[in-house]
Structures are given as structure tokens and as C-alpha cells.
Structure 1
Amino acid sequence: MAEPAHSDQPLLKTPLHAEHVALGARMVPFAGYDMPVQYPAGILTEHNWTREHAGLFDVSHMGQAFLIADDKSHETVAKALEALIPADVLNLKPNQQRYSQLLADDGGILDDLMVTRVGAPGHEGWLYLVVNASMKEADYAHIQARLPKGVSLNREDELALMALQGPSAAAVLAKLAPETDDLPFMMSADVQIGGISCHVSRSGYTGEDGFEISCKAEDAAKLWNKLLADPEVKPIGLGARDSLRLEAGLCLYGHDIDTTTSPIEAGLIWSIQKRRREEGGFPGAARVQREIKEGPSRVRVGIKPEGRAPAREGTVITTPDGHEVGIVTSGGFGPTVNGPVAMGYVSKDVSAVGTDLHLVVRGKPLPAKVAAMPFAPHRYKR
């Protein structure tokens, strides 16, 4: 989880920084921001609360931007973005959201992102993008440099973003904005929450049902406290966000996916729709299409250590006879699973669920097995 801050620059603060400090959060440098890693209740309690009730996360450090076509045509802006990512943007319905990846020319992943077709009347040629905090400056520069004439990127640095996640999230939000209750998974809506204008999508990063809520930075503290006023909601830090997404089998950029991994190796073929798999037309399409056809030489898998010792990122993976076959990219204790869980890349020939492996922890080979993901079942509202 830890991403070192750039030591030569002062840490940035989200619009909710003062709220975290007032709640007694332990603040740490993360992606150039001063962020809450945990509150006084602790990571374990926060993780379990999100699985059982509703957790509120500050994700305002993420990058929010709009791609806008001068001719107000969805086709124009969709084609511009499809030249950079492998998702089908052209066939997005208004207010529909999709997960995808910015790809390098060799098919490596520059970042992963969320793309939404804006549904508001008069904004037909708009796409709303959410990119990772650690990559946003590089992403914006990459996109900007490759846009055709007539399409522009507008970064929205004056917006805040928070995530309300967990089985109680829908009931909590429905009390404040009733129209969010029947919002389908990966769809969005512009709503008023207690008089605050918000863009809400039914999505998240925990494996639980929930929402991501964007609002103006100046309204963020008011909205945060309005949501926290519900007894079902507690603030959750980066520590539990990481253990929740690991149990959900979700990739973290810079760890489980990066410029050396392709979407196919990472098990993200589901995020590339049929038309794009067949037509290509995105960076690295030759590699992606080849790996779809022939299979990649290595794949991302779930791993369950057999003891209680967690295997951290960078742990070498071997066969039981000591042959090196891969590396752990994320690992830790899974509170819901009540044991250690990990993800990593292994050679295709040892990737089947149930395959015996060894994890070399502090020079000692510890037994583990390839496990099915997610480790904790997804509970999205389908």
C-alpha cells in the first residue's frame, strides 16, 4: 500500500484533511498526499466495519477530469479515448461507467482508470475520468499529448471524492438521496445529497456494494459529516482500504499491474469488450490479441499461505522443489478470511487453483497453494 511521497515537495492535502486530523487519524505520506492510514479504532476494526456496515473513505487524492469534444459528439470523444485504452467507449450508455487501462505501445499498463459517459443534457460529448493519485500528472500529460484536434482534457482539481462502501451503504445514501437506491452497478447519476450537488456512481474498490461520490471541494466537509452522522457509517483509512481490495482480488497500480504487465497477464480480459478484442486499434493491441489467442506466459493468481505468516510484496514464489516461478505483488492478513492472503504472478504451468507452491519468507520456504479469487465474495448490486 505504501507509496513514498516525493521528498523534495511538501505533501498535498485533500479538502478533508482537517476532518481526518480532528477524528484522530494517523496521517502518512501516500502518493504525494498526507492521508489517513487509520483512525483510533484501528485497521482490523475498520475492515470488519466496512464488511458488516458502511465505511466512508476519502479518495480525493485521485485525479478527476473530463474529456470534451468541441463538436459535442459522443462518437468524437469516444474514438479519441479508444485510441488510448482497450475498452469499448463508443457503446457506453449515458451515465454508464467502465473500468479500463491506459496502455503503452508494447501493451504494458501505464495506469488503470474509470471512464463514465456523462449523461447530463447538453454534455453529450463529455467523458468523466478518474485516475490514480500517484499517476495523475503522468496520465494527464500522456492523454493530452495524444488527443486529436477538437478534443480537450479538462482537469478538475477543485473536486473532492469519497467512497461509501459496505452492506449498509445503499440504505444510508437512500435516506439522503432516494433516487440512488435503485442505481445499478457501474451506473451513475447527478443528485442532491442534503442540498449538495453530487455525482454518484455505484462502484468502489472493496468488493462490497457501495458508491463513489464526487462533489465540489468546498462542500466536501459538510457532505463527509452528513454521511458520518449516520450510526451505520464510520471513517475508514488507507490500511483497511488495502486489506479490503486485496481480499476482493482487485489490482493496485504500481504493485499488481504496471508497465511490465499486460491486461491479459493481469486477468483483466473481462475489461476488454468483444469489439475491441477483435478490432484492436489501441496501443499494444498486437500483444493483447496474441496473448488472448495463445495465452500469456505468466498470470496473476490468488495465493493462500498455509501457515499464519503473511507473504509481502516482493516475496519469491517457487515450486516445492525450489524452482523459481514467480513473485508476490500484494500480500497481507485478510481479516474476513482470518488468515494471510496474497496475489502474484506465476508461470502459466503452475497457475491452476490448488497447485502447491512455496513462498520464500526471510529465506525460509513456506507452503502455499494457488487459490481462487476473490478471497471474500463480491457483493456488488447486479
Structure 2
Amino acid sequence: MAETTNLKTLPLHALHEAAKARFGGFAGWNMPITYPLGVMKEHLHTRAHAGLFDISHMKLIVVSGKDAVELLSKTCPLDPAVLGMRQSKYTFFLNEEGGILDDLIVTRLGEDRFMVVANAGNADADIAHLQEAASGHDVKVEPLDRVFLALQGPEAEAVITAAGLPGADLAFMTGFEPKPGWFMSRSGYTGEDGFEIGLPVEEAEVLVEKLLADERVEWIGLAARDSLRLEAGLCLHGQDITPETDPVSAGLTWAITKAVREKAAFTGASAVLAAIAKGPAAKRVGLKPEGRQPVRAGAELFDAEGRQVGTVTSGGFGPSAGFPVAMGYVEAGLATPGTRLFAEVRGNKVPVDVAALPFTPHRYRKG
């Protein structure tokens, strides 16, 4: 178990203790890693039914005011002005070199009001980044103290409907404020349909108990969240994307529209545009190890001649896929699915094939 001294505690920690969670440290927080169901069953339950995740370590930040669009246009490769009401968009904060400081989801809640969802380990830096950029502008950057929950899986919509919650009419990557202090979006980090709900701490326990009373719902820990997102080919900041990784190498330029590229008003624009023009030296790819042994983050990748050609950034077993899954970066010329490489695992060379992502199909609600 990871060391939990000096870690921040989730507002609903007592509920997780009562559910007999096993805890560990992640991004400065004492997080439920698994529950008695176990990682494999938690993962498969989410794919088949509905899993409930406490993601209160992540941060909700409201950006509002006359200059909100200008602020987000400058700090992200994004044009907030063209987002429709309730529309969400995946984007990033970049440094001047085009490196990814964090990946985010921005949702338009009003003419000059946006919700930014930031990753736990980067939350303080993200808030400071926004506040510094907001200096001298008519814009407010407001971090919220909320319980943040994710309900993920094919039965998620039926569960929220049975619980009397709004949101069943949302399409994937849309969000709104159903009542004061609440934020709800149809989104997630598993490849499944689902919802993320931010709400005041004092209202959260009642909601959790209502959701868990539904036999289709189980608590799901951080370990299964990781295997679910890895099967879905979704990046984890700090592993698959970092301040040293640009969106071109990461295969994320789809998040930067042609109009945003042409305007080039965002921080890091010149570096990103140069990288697009030049093409990446390395590309993020899926990796499928031969056999049943997972290949973990940090393993080096070699070609048939023994030359190092890449590195694994995330790896584990894919319970739904039925085999080990991984992601990493390889030289661009070797990024074609089917290319045979070798990962060094405890002194042994394990055959690994470059694979198309995702390993399991996304099942988002499109309409």
C-alpha cells in the first residue's frame, strides 16, 4: 500500500472506509484504490453495469466575466466563443514550447461563464496559471470546493433516471448546472457512457447513498479507473502526456481546430504549429505484449536489432480486452500497427506489437 502520511483526504473518506476500501496515495490525495469486489470485478462491473467513482481529487474551476473568452483563448488552444451553450471540449494548458502542462475539459455554461475541470496533481498550478493570465482583465477565476463523482457504464443513464436526477437528455461532452452549486456533464474517463457530477459536500452523502442503493451500482476504485482508461486509450497526465510532450507526438492535434491553428493566439502556438509542419519524431501508440505478462510504465522498447526506439508510459492487464495492454511512444517510422518490438522486463525481452487504440471500443452517447 502506498504511503498515506501528509496526504489530503476526500470529503467522503468515511464512506469509503465504511465500504472497506483499500487506500493509497495518488497526486497528493489518500484515494480508494480498490474495494472488496477487487480490481478485476470492479472493472468488468463498470463495463457491464454502472460504476461509481469518487473523483473529488480533481478540481472544478469557474471562469467567468467579460474577458472569460479571451482568457481561455490565450491559455488553451481553444476558441470558447464558438462553443454552444452546454458544449464541452477537451483541451490543454501548454507552455511556450508546446508541452502539455495539463489536459482539461472546458464546458460553456453561459455567455461569459465556463467550467474548467483540471487534474488533481496540477490543480494548484492550473489555478495559479489562470489567475496570472487573468491579471488586468475583467474575469474571475473561482476554484470550487465540491464533491465530484463519476457514474460510468452502460446502465448509468438508467440509474440517474431512477434516482430522479436530470441529465438523461445530455449528449456526450455536454454539461450544465442542474441546480445552484451543482455541475453535471455527460463525460468520463472509461470509454463508457456516463456522467460526472460536482455538488456541495453537504448534499453529497445523500446522493451517494441513493445511487448505491441501486443494485446496478458499485463503488469502483482508482486501480480499475486506470485499467478502464488504458483499455480506452485515454491519456494520464504525468505519464502518457507531460510538459515535455507536445500534442502532435501524443496524437491529440484533433483537439485543436483548424480555425484555432490559423488564429495562433494561444500560448505555445508557434511551437505546436512548427511540430505539426515538421511531423513528430515519436508517436503515442497502443502496445500489445505477447503472452499474459503485463509490461509496465517505464519499460524501454527495442527493435529487432536491439536499438532502443521508445518507452512504455502506461501498462497493465486489460480485463475486458482479455490480454495485457499498454501505451507508449515509439519512433514515428515504427508506429504502424503490427510492428513487432521488444520490451525489457526484468532483464528479459518481451515481444510487443504496436496496436491500434482503443483496445476496447468507446461506447459514448453521441446524440
Tell me, yes or no, whether TM beats 0.5.
Answer: yes
Q: Secondary structure at the match of 1:317?
A: strand
Q: Which residue of 1 aligns with 2:45?
A: 49
* 1:40 equivalenced with 2:41 (yes/no): no
* 1:125 equivalenced with 2:115 (yes/no): no
The Cα shift of 1:179 comes to 4.2
Q: Name which of structure 1's ranges 197-206 and 362-371 shifts more when overlaid on structure 2.
A: 197-206
Q: Which residue of 2 aligns with 1:162?
A: 149
* 1:268 equivalenced with 2:255 (yes/no): no
State which of 332, 345, 352 in structure 1 corresponds to 2:329.
Answer: 345
The Cα shift of 1:3 comes to 8.8
Distance in 1 between residues matched to 2:118 and 2:181, nearest whole Å: 22
Residue by residue over 1:60-117, the C-alpha shift from the partner in whole angstroms, topping out at 9 and shown as x without a partner, is: 1111111121xxx4xx211111111112212111111111110001100111111111
Conserved 8 A contact 2:3-2:24: no
Structure 1: 5+ residue stretches without partners? none
Q: Which residue of 2 aligns with 1:311?
A: 295
Q: Which residue of 2 aligns with 1:92?
A: 83
The Cα shift of 1:118 comes to 1.1
Matched to 1:153, the amino acid is: V
Distance in 1 between residues matched to 2:176 and 2:143, nearest whole Å: 20
Distance in 1 between residues matched to 2:80 and 2:328, nearest whole Å: 29
Matched to 1:93, the amino acid is: G
State which of 143, 148, 173 in structure 1 corresponds to 2:130.
Answer: 143
Q: Secondary structure at the match of 2:124?
A: helix
Q: Secondary structure at the match of 2:72?
A: helix
Distance in 1 between residues matched to 2:116 and 2:47, nearest whole Å: 27
Conserved 8 A contact 1:315-1:359: yes
* 1:26 equivalenced with 2:26 (yes/no): no
Distance in 2 between residues matched to 1:364 and 1:321, nearest whole Å: 15
The Cα shift of 1:189 comes to 2.7
Structure 2: 5+ residue stretches without partners? none
Conserved 8 A contact 1:177-1:191: no
Change (3 A) 1:355 1:3: farther
Give the total of aligned pairs: 365
Change (3 A) 1:26 1:178: closer
Q: Secondary structure at the match of 1:366?
A: strand
Question: 5 Å matches for 1:45-124?
Answer: 45-69=41-65, 73=66, 76-119=67-110, 124=111
The Cα shift of 1:198 comes to 3.3
The Cα shift of 1:4 comes to 7.5
Distance in 2 between residues matched to 1:57 and 1:279, nearest whole Å: 38
Distance in 1 between residues matched to 2:280 and 2:2, nearest whole Å: 29
Q: Secondary structure at the match of 1:81?
A: helix
Matched to 2:137, the amino acid is: K
Give the TM-score normalised by structure 2. 0.96
The Cα shift of 1:177 comes to 3.7
Conserved 8 A contact 2:171-2:186: yes
Conserved 8 A contact 1:165-1:206: yes
Conserved 8 A contact 1:15-1:218: no
Give the TM-score normalised by structure 1. 0.92
Q: Secondary structure at the match of 1:304?
A: strand
Q: Name which of structure 1's ranges 285-294 and 199-208 shifts more when overlaid on structure 2.
A: 285-294
Q: Secondary structure at the match of 1:374?
A: coil
The Cα shift of 1:190 comes to 2.8
Change (3 A) 1:3 1:245: farther
The Cα shift of 1:178 comes to 6.2
Conserved 8 A contact 2:63-2:141: yes
Distance in 1 between residues matched to 2:231 and 2:165, nearest whole Å: 30
Residue by residue over 1:284-334, the C-alpha shift from the partner in whole angstroms, topping out at 9 and shown as x without a partner, is: 111211222231111100000112111101000011111111100000000
Matched to 2:147, the amino acid is: A
The Cα shift of 1:277 comes to 1.7
Q: Sequence identity of aligned pairs in percent?
A: 48
Question: 5 Å matches for 1:144-223?
Answer: 144-147=131-134, 148-157=136-145, 159-177=146-164, 179-191=166-178, 198-223=182-207
